[in-house]
Amino acid sequence: MTPQGLQLPTPTPPFSGVIMPNLVDSQPAWPPQVMPPERAPNVLLILTDDVGFAAPSTFGGVIPTPTLDRVAQNGLRYTQFHTTALCSPTRAALLTGHNHHQVGFGNISELSMGFPGYNSVIPRETATVAAILQENGYATAWFGKNHNTPPWEASAAGPFTNWPVGMGFDYFYGFIGGDTSQWQPGNLFRNTTPIHPYVGTPRGEWNLITAMADDAVNHIRTNTEIAPNRPWFIHYAPGGTHAPHHPTREWIERIEAMRLFDEGWEKLRERIFANQQRLGVVPANAQLTPWPADLLRRWDSLSDAEKRLFIRQANVYAAYLAYTDHEIGRVIAEVERLGQLDNTLIIYISGDNGSSAEGSVNGTPNEVMYFNGVALDAQQQMPWYDAWGSDQTYNHMAVGWTWAFGTPYRWTKQVASHFGGTRNGMAVSWPRGIADRGGIRTQFHHVIDVVPTILEAAGIPQPRSVNGITQRPMAGTSMAYSFPQAAANAPSTRRTQYFEIMANRAIYHDGWIASTTPPAPPWEGTAPRPEDAMNGYRWELYDLRADPTQNNNLAAQQPDRLRMLQELFTIEATRNQVFPLNGNGLAGMLVARPGPAAGRTHFVYTGPSCCTQANAAPNVLNRSFRITAEVEVPAGADGVLVTQGGRFAGWGLYLLQGRPVFTMNLLDIQRERWEGPALPAGRHTIVYDFVLDMQGPIPFAHGGTGTLTVNGQQVAQRAIPRTTPFTFAWDETFDVGMDTGTAVDDRDYQVPFAFTGRIGRITLDLGQGTVTPEAVRNFGALMAQRAREAERAAPATTTAPR
């Protein structure tokens, strides 16, 4: 252990042996091994994704989570634990012990902006807990979601300093980005190498939730067998239950048989609240907040078709949560089998934020639609009903369920001002260190408190410097004081905590909380927000001791207290790099970022490559572009030349039995296709030229004319009325000479569909675009208009999944 935490890594001590001219007169001595303090525990830090406080059975929900139940029964349940309301920010805070803006994650990495609190780069002055433990002798590993690598660094070119292996983790098995298909994850890596273990397996027989549990089990077993006295730290972060909701068919059938959701979301809230009162996971004076009838429809007002679809959505979501919890249980079972459970600190955080409303009011078979401002009604979604949760969907549920899974609180993920967005259940067990089995802890705590807790349990002080860089003092405070049974009612050591995501904000202090009122619900991404984010929001005030669910707004009765808390927020926000506030979240998609693609309009590829994330690849959205492929082919050549995206949105240029094809996949609703005659064997130059129609008041999703030529001769041309405006699927990448993830049209081919000819040179040239700084500044109003146009132009029918 580093004395007094002065600096990491520990300097090499002087040689302690004796060196003489002759070996026989000399005395060898080995450099001492760096080891943690004696009896330091293993640490299993579990973080699930987008799980509302009231979803798991452990905190009153109806979805069975026996693994979380068992951790709580073997240790403690924390009922006033808080996150940041969004994925990347919570994860950055969790791994560093610093508030999310202090570590560059005021928003998710894909919406990063060029300000210190929002640049998606964890500073060297705030080393992760893995780096601290690693330098103190721990074996460290990360499994699952990594949403904290700057997106422009997520490519084979690196740099890898901000990947898990550069942040203190010896080993990484997981995906880079906000989410991924659990059936065909195109952004899956082992350390820094892309892997595609699902290729060649029958549909439905490989799932990442199980695969990462398998990998973790093998990793724990290997470390324990080889070095049983070396403790380990594992960050285990499955994709469940972020969309897409991808459980196995067996789990869907198991949940459907339970008929958990037949009575609808309002009755579900009542059942959950009764369970919570019985379990004691809400205060005795807690009130069930009213159903937001001004925002969401009541169950009785729905048609039979809507009820049928929404119940299917909820069953698949519940199956996904139960399945994820089961696979976590397999990992813990291996720890127990190896005889290490007694001295393993398990911290199981149920969700990195509240339940997600990104499925919109009707749910969606394709979450990418939400991020592109497209919504389908229930009837339009019915062709996907039987396939819901399979690899043919990127599915999400209706917001009514989202709200219910936050019972008894209000609001959802993305809303940092209310506990529906920030309160998550947490269970902690450590048989050697926590004697109170099944206890409940009600102290107010935040995700930044986890790292100090781990370090105190391990007997390791916070370092003053890491790799020669002075460390900022952590904002978190250890929760270990609450472990003893006598501390069940001890006052919280966290007296103040600010919250902020996309200008929704709050400040907690000594039992009071001041919160802004969301100007628009998060599922209405196109709704206008106040341009003056600092002053354009209405504030609310709550006395949490008398009103623990933020149900009785006291702002009018106590303006002086509200003003004091607003001033305190400004102080905390200034200290933590929260400014400038930005309430226009999706505008971040249009920000120019650094990296290998920044400022470039000409890209050249001379051979196969894969798995380049969007921010490091050419961006063809909202602009003209030209692809030129110089190739040599045999007769009947097949394979992808270049592609981006996949089944749920994207484009691809490929040969199909010798025929050149360009396909533009518009959100899996329609596919536009250009095709030429089969090429004879030999050398050819294939060009796809897309000229964007620059007309119209909205600078997004314009149509245009695409022309396919071979050796200078036009073989296909057509105009299309619209294009994808903002993003392709998060997990789909830019590939050359093959396709990873999913195909842009799986009627034509299945991945990897490697090119059978020879690539001489593929160039991609970007032309004029429509996105300007003015368009970004006026994004809210422009997107509101675009949404109205899209609604009027929505297709009357949809096609079934293939």
Same domain, 273 and 370: yes
**In CATH, what number is assigned to the domain containing residue 513?**
3.30.1120.10
pLDDT at position 243: 97
Same domain, 388 and 466: yes
Same domain, 552 and 634: no
Identify the domain boundary among 487, 522, 547: 487
Whether 74 is covered by a domain: the verdict is yes
Whether 799 is covered by a domain: the verdict is no
Express each pLDDT in 220-253 by its tens digit: 999 999 999 999 999 999 999 999 999 999 999 9
Identify the domain boundary among 462, 487, 512: 487
Express each pLDDT in 264-290 by its tens digit: 999 999 999 999 999 999 999 999 999
**Nearest Cα to Cα of residue 773 among 600, 591, 500:** 591
Q: Where is pLDDT greater, at 447 or 155?
A: 447
Tokens 């005030």 belong to residue: 541
Same domain, 421 and 519: no
β pairing state of 602-605 and 758-769: antiparallel
**In CATH, what number is assigned to the domain containing residue 73?**
3.40.720.10
Same domain, 581 and 602: no
Same domain, 614 and 570: no
Same domain, 83 and 50: yes
Same domain, 144 and 243: yes
Residue 541's alpha-carbon distances to 4, 444, 510, 513, 555, in angstroms, are 42, 17, 13, 6, 5
Residue 3 reports pLDDT greater than 60:
no
Same domain, 505 and 445: no
pLDDT at position 586: 66
Tokens 């199981």 belong to residue: 348
Same domain, 571 and 602: no
Whether 726 is covered by a domain: the verdict is yes
Tokens 């979601």 belong to residue: 145
Identify the domain boundary among 487, 508, 542: 487
For the ranges 124-128, 197-201, 586-590, 610-614, the lowest mean pLDDT is seen at 586-590
Whether 780 is covered by a domain: the verdict is no
Element (H, E) at 77: strand 76-78
What is the mean pLDDT of the segment spanning 18-41? 93
Q: Phi then psi for 428, rounded to 5 degrees?
A: -130, 130
For the ranges 6-10, 74-78, 317-321, the lowest mean pLDDT is seen at 6-10
Provide the H-helix boundaries in 549-655.
559-575
Whether 798 is covered by a domain: the verdict is no
**In CATH, what number is assigned to the domain containing residue 697?**
2.60.120.200
What is the mean pLDDT of the segment spanning 621-638? 96
Whether 271 is covered by a domain: the verdict is yes
Cis peptide before 773 (omega within 30 of 0): no
List, in order, residues 6 or more apart from 219 with CB less than 8 Å away. Answer: 141, 143, 171, 173, 234
Same domain, 304 and 353: yes
pTM of the model: 0.95
Whether 797 is covered by a domain: the verdict is no
Let me know: does 376 contact 107? Beta carbons within 8 Å: no
pLDDT at position 791: 44
pLDDT at position 613: 86
Express each pLDDT in 205-227 by its tens digit: 999 999 999 999 999 999 999 99
Reported as half-sphere exposure (CB side, CA atoms, 13 A), residue 492 has a value of 20
Structurally, how many domains does the chain consist of? 3
What is the mean pLDDT of the segment spanning 642-665? 96
Same domain, 84 and 117: yes
Cα 501 to Cα 529: distance, rounded to the nearest angstrom: 14
592 confidence band (pLDDT: 50, 70, 90): confident
List, in order, residues 6 or more apart from 173 with CB less than 8 Å away. Answer: 141, 142, 143, 144, 189, 190, 212, 215, 216, 219
pLDDT at position 777: 58
pLDDT at position 431: 97
Q: Give the structural domain span for 88.
A: 42-487
Let me know: does 323 contact 64? Beta carbons within 8 Å: no
Let me know: does 130 contact 460? Beta carbons within 8 Å: no
pLDDT at position 421: 98
pLDDT at position 730: 75
Element (H, E) at 330: helix 304-337
Cα 492 to Cα 441: distance, rounded to the nearest angstrom: 10
Cα 43 to Cα 26: distance, rounded to the nearest angstrom: 42
Q: Which two tokens stand for residue 186?
A: 């195109």
pLDDT at position 779: 54
Cα 59 to Cα 281: distance, rounded to the nearest angstrom: 6
304-337 vs 249-256: helix axis angle to the nearest 10? 120
Express each pLDDT in 401-446 by its tens digit: 999 999 999 999 999 999 999 999 999 999 999 999 999 999 999 9
Identity of the residue numbered 292: P
Express each pLDDT in 520-575 by its tens digit: 899 987 677 787 788 889 999 999 999 999 999 999 999 999 999 999 999 999 99
Let me know: does 381 contact 362? Beta carbons within 8 Å: yes
Whether 21 is covered by a domain: the verdict is no
| Cα-to-chain-centroid distance, residue 711 | 44
Express each pLDDT in 309-343 by its tens digit: 999 999 999 999 999 999 999 999 999 999 999 99
Express each pLDDT in 746-793 by its tens digit: 999 999 999 999 999 999 999 988 776 666 555 555 554 544 454 455
Using CA atoms in the order 774, 780, 785, 789, what is the torsion angle rounded to 10 degrees?
110
